[in-house]
Amino acid sequence: MSVELRGVPTVLLPGTGSDDDYVYRAFAPALHSVGAVVIPHTPQPAGLIAGYHRALDDASRDGPIAIAGVSLGAAVAVAWAIAHPSRTVAVLAALPAWTGKPDAAPAALAALHTAGELRRDGLVATTTRMRESSPPWLADELTRSWLGQWPDLPDAMTEAAGFVAPTTAELSAMTTPMGVVSASDDPVHPLEVGVEWVAAAPNASLRTVTLDDIGADAGALGAACLAALADV
């Protein structure tokens, strides 16, 4: 299946606690190379999911769109595509974190834990601990994006941790082509979730990267997503 993205408005949805700066660098180089019109969404932490939905609704008023998302953004993108098949050209789903209810998913538990720390200890102390336990590239990204979403960041993380992603049954009914990328060594966004999504969705393909790949070049995510889409 060949998917033409030239001239297609493509909304970029960040992951939990991340921002439009990162998601732009992750997807824009690859999308610009195929002529897509890139629309990075700035997260609204006081109403995170509703903000994502408004961005998608607004972008699709004049015609079909594509959607690219990371983690939570990928789940929201897929859910919206399933609900609006005639308005979605393609989905680029990077680092999916869970299928269906979050339950004990590592990403959901991490978001709840961080939200609790932020409420208890504040932004500076929590950011300092995060920097001590994270790869330098990730620490730099989150330090910037967390500051930009403070003081509503804990509420955004709590909301994200409760998001119910599409189930395998819902994915099996998805008609939109989808390129999925998982990191083979990311315990927070397990490779098994990407495998599950692609096994369930009829028009989907998977590529893998490593955390070092992403750290060296955020654009590796978008390039791998487009490569996966080309495999559909």
Question: Which residue, 168, 177, 174, is CA-closest to 204?
Answer: 177
The last residue of one of the domains, among 142, 159, 176, is 159
Q: What is the pLDDT of residue 231?
A: 96
Q: What is the pLDDT of residue 2?
A: 81
The last residue of one of the domains, among 132, 159, 186, is 159
Question: What's the average model confidence in pLDDT over 146-164?
Answer: 98
Residues 170 and 152 in one domain: no
Residues 169 and 186 in one domain: yes
Question: Which residue, 9, 12, 30, 2, is CA-closest to 88?
Answer: 9
Residues 80 and 168 in one domain: yes
Question: What's the average model confidence in pLDDT over 9-27?
Answer: 98
Cα gap 144→82, rounded to integer Å: 33
pLDDT tens digits, one per residue of 20-66? 999 999 999 999 999 999 999 999 999 999 999 999 999 999 999 99
pLDDT > 90: percent of the chain: 99
Q: What is the pLDDT of residue 225?
A: 98
* Contacts of 209 by beta carbon, 8 Å cutoff, 6+ apart: 181, 182, 183, 184, 220, 221, 224
Residue 80 belongs to what domain range? 9-100+164-231
Residues 96 and 40 in one domain: yes
Q: What is the pLDDT of residue 111?
A: 98
pLDDT tens digits, one per residue of 176-232? 999 999 999 999 999 999 999 999 999 999 999 999 999 999 999 999 999 999 999
The answer to whether residue 83 sits within a structural domain is yes
CA atoms within 13 A on the CB side of 131: 11
pLDDT > 70: percent of the chain: 100
As a whole number, the mean pLDDT across the chain is: 97
Residue 139 scores a pLDDT above 90: yes
Query: What is the total count of domains within the chain?
Result: 2
Cα gap 142→127, rounded to integer Å: 8
Question: What's the average model confidence in pLDDT over 87-97?
Answer: 98
- Which tokens sit at 54? 């408004």
Residues 17 and 77 in one domain: yes
Residue linked to tokens 């997807």? 27
Q: Find the CATH number of the domain harbouring 211.
A: 3.40.50.1820
Between 153-161 and 106-133, two packed helices, what is the crossing angle to 10 degrees? 140
* CA dihedral (99, 103, 104, 109) positive or negative: positive
Residue 1 scores a pLDDT above 90: no
